[in-house]
Chain A
Amino acid sequence: MTRIYVPRDALAVSLGADDVAAALRAACPDALIVRNSSRGMAWLEPLVEVETEVGRIGYGPVEATDIPSLLAAGLLGGGAHAKRIGRPEDQPFLARQTRITFARAGLTDPVSLADYRAHGGLAGLTRALGMSPAELIDEVAKSGLRGRGGAGFPTGIKWRTVQLAPSAQKYIVCNADEGDSGTFADRMVMEGDPFLLIEGMIIAGLTVGATRGYVYLRSEYPHAITAMNEAIGVALREGVLGDSVLGSGHAFHLEVRVGAGAYVCGEETSLLDSLEGKRGQVRAKPPLPALSGLFGKPTVVNNVLSLAAIPDIFAGGAAAYQALGMGRSRGTMPIQLAGNIKHGGLFEVPFGITLGELVMEIGGGTASGRPVRAVQVGGPLGAYFPPALFDTQFDYEAFTARDGLIGHGGIVVFDDTVDMARMARFAMEFCAIESCGKCTPCRIGSTRGVEVIDKIIAGDSKQLALLEDLCDTMKFGSLCALGGFTPYPVLSAIRHFPEDFSRHQPALAA
């Protein structure tokens, strides 16, 4: 029986993958249609793959209306067609990657535990079950893994703090509130390889002595919610989760909790308040969540990508993971290429690649074909970079040195039609909409920021000094990164694109 793969990933589904699958089912009743995950090449989605004697052959982007012509061209045997791309793994976009977290992306049925095991899944957990708590912590620390949510805090240190905190109840909380524009790696892990996240969370639980975990998943990700819940159900039935993980006697219970559209809940302490059933307002630190987190108990709060890196660190050994990367940024980073880009998608590589390679070589420049003018790295709180800074290496410290941040690894490309004064205004407007209201610099400062930028856009460039002063107050006076980092996009827009802040002079009367 011929196997045909049609992704169930949200991006593919948003472009008609369900219709493609239905059309194939109707036209080829004898074929087995597998709903796999996405390979991460967005411009080819929906990417249909057919298993042939020479491996899987891809066709994309496929619409349901293409099915008759594809079948006439011999789709089931990998026949020639304008949309045939050959073997997906031969695509330069995939061939240049070092996929660890995304090793299984597109290959498996995401909710099949058998597929997961067949592709190396659960090897890390199996090894971890034979290790002592001290050995477990050592392995994480040695890997050099730093928090992939944006802050880059060493995971080993965070886990050690929780491990050493005395408490009968501890928690593992996965921050899956991936609200940054231009990022989708968490979504792709949860939709495409949910057992990987589950395995990472179980290992975290074993390491610190926690028996309960929560995935705080944003409501904007309905497909991820479905996939995670399906996978948790399977894991429970198969004894991966539950009272005795893989028969070890260690308990671990996991639950998905759905957010409600508040961007600020991606900040770990507001996330915890939201989980507890409160307004998602930021807590002052200390105390650290590691000591007093969910319901006041010691809690590991990690991003999806941090937890998803754990199984491979245990399966392949910390040394192998640590060997990749540059400086203090070890391992790989799943980078997300987005916005106005020709070849967008998921690109996992060791740290150290330059911004220019990512945007121009791998991404192929803009989708519109116009020159690249600016890229925003690290979400709505990240700085805008001009092409003049494309030699910046993808590394936590290298971006900090250039007044930017890599954040969660999202890169949004803009062409030369972008108005950077408007983008700076949007940064302030977004902060005003999403501010939790707890601290004044963020709550009031963002609204004043919009007003000041409006005056600048109206032609009053004297207000620039006031705007920079306001940014200074927000940066140093805000409780969390929402107010504290909103100045990054604003100030970088002013610094690198000053012409956009003076060109709005009102025309002189004739």
Chain B
Amino acid sequence: MIGKTEIATRTAEIIAPYLALEGPAMPMLHAVQAAFGFVPEASVPVVADALNLSRAEVHGLVSFYHDFRREPAGRAVLKLCRAEACQACGADRIAAHASEVLGIGWHETTPDGAVTLEPVFCLGLCAAGPCGMVNERTVARLDTARLDAILEAVR
């Protein structure tokens, strides 16, 4: 775990290229999360300072958007679609299976830090549901066997 000062220094470097953009806040926060895996508390004042915003306003951004994490996730993030088109194809059963196999609920991480389970609302693969995402990789036509194979590979 790196210290707060180092996080602040690295955050300043990470966000520097975005300063010239119009409305740079979101690209900056995406870049911070891409670098650290989450938006560290120590990054917030640095971003706020760069944008001439209050820390509360930047905190408000981080907490508003589902994508931004305030804590590190597991080594793998499994997102399962909960939206209607996937529900029509049995998404609830897939989610229950994942929850049972991993022993965790939505937004939780397995005790060994291997997998974080998250809901997602639509990946645009609605004609091949149920679908999900393993880290950056999208997967479709999930069944329990495919899901088991995916979990086996990331654990």
Contacts and interface: CB of A to CB of B under 8 A. Distances in A.
A260 B67 contact: yes
Interface stretch (B4-12, B78-86, B97-105, B108-116): B78-86
B84 A220 contact: no
Given A184-B126, A344-B127, A295 B65 contact: no
Contacts of A187: 124
Interface residues of B, number: 40
B73 to A, nearest CB: 14
Contacts of B26: 257-260, 274-275, 277
A224 to B, nearest CB: 8
Where chain B touches its partner, the secondary structure class is loop
A435 to B, nearest CB: 11
A88 interface: no
Given A262-B66, A367-B89, A426-B87, A344 B23 contact: no
Q: How many interface residues does chain A have, given as a range?
A: 35 or more
Contacts of B88: 339-340, 412-415, 418
A279 B138 contact: no
A181 B67 contact: no
* Most-contacted residue by chain B among A178, A257, A412, A415 (CB, 10 A): A412
B124 A339 contact: no
B74 to A, nearest CB: 18
A63 to B, nearest CB: 11
Contacts of B29: 260
B121 A181 contact: yes
B152 interface: no
Nearest to A216: B26
Contacts of A407: none
Contacts of A45: 128
B42 interface: no
Contacts, number: 149
A62 interface: no
Given A184-B126, A339-B84, A410-B126, A14 B139 contact: yes
Interface string A256-293: 01111111000000000011111110000000000000
A353 interface: no
Contacts of B86: 181
Interface string A338-361: 111100110000000000000000
A412 B87 CA distance: 10
B83 A380 contact: yes
Contacts of B128: 11, 14-15, 42, 45, 344
A340 B89 contact: yes
A211 interface: no
B64 A338 contact: no
A-B pairs with lowest CB-CB distance, top 6 = A344-B127, A277-B25, A181-B83, A42-B127, A260-B65, A338-B126
Interface of B: 22-27, 29-30, 51, 60-61, 64-68, 83-89, 120-129, 131, 133, 136, 138-141
16 contacts: A14-B139, A45-B128, A182-B85, A257-B23, A260-B65, A261-B120, A262-B65, A263-B121, A276-B23, A277-B26, A277-B51, A339-B85, A339-B88, A380-B83, A423-B87, A430-B83
